Amino acid sequence: MGKRAPAIIVSSLLKVESMLSNPTEKQIENQILTYLRNKGIFVWKNQSTGVFDPTKKVFRKSSNPHHISGVSDILGILKDGRFLAIEVKKPYISKKTLKVKYRTQEELQKLASVDQVNFIEKIRLSNGVSFYADSLEVVEDQLSFAKIEQG
């Protein structure tokens, strides 16, 4: 009889398979961040969770009047000085084919909150580059469309 693979290897392989077939929003964010950093673009993950209230043991929104709601998941500064904002959404996996269905900007916008839509629009109106993404391919397409140097 052959030897069985150690449980840790099997577990790791299952995690990799899950990432490839059903990536989470966080995994997509990390792929995008790595890609943009490798292209020499200054980017960071915006932490948008509320402030933890240890007394009530809940996250609450900031009461600061200067706090902005709806700030995109990924922020950065492009090589030409323009501001970059990317709102990341979880990819849609077809239950029939188990394949990723890529969505248009309009479809992705429908998944965003009113505050997220307003933030994306404010960046555009300020000559920044902003869009929604559910995959690395969308980022590549949007940067190409915005005529961003990718090399």
Delimit the domains of the chain by residue range.
Answer: 24-145
Supply the pLDDT for residue 58.
82
Out of 3.40.50.10490, 3.40.630.30, 3.40.1350.10, 3.40.50.720, the CATH code matching 24-145 is 3.40.1350.10
Supply the pLDDT for residue 8.
60
Supply the pLDDT for residue 4.
58
| pLDDT tens per residue, range 120-139 | 999 999 999 999 999 999 99
| pLDDT tens per residue, range 22-36 | 788 899 999 999 999
Do 68 and 118 meet the contact criterion of CB atoms below 8 Å apart?
A: no
DSSP 135: S
Closest CA to 130 of 28, 43, 23: 43
Q: Look up residue 39 and give its amino acid.
A: K
Closest CA to 45 of 24, 62, 69, 28: 28
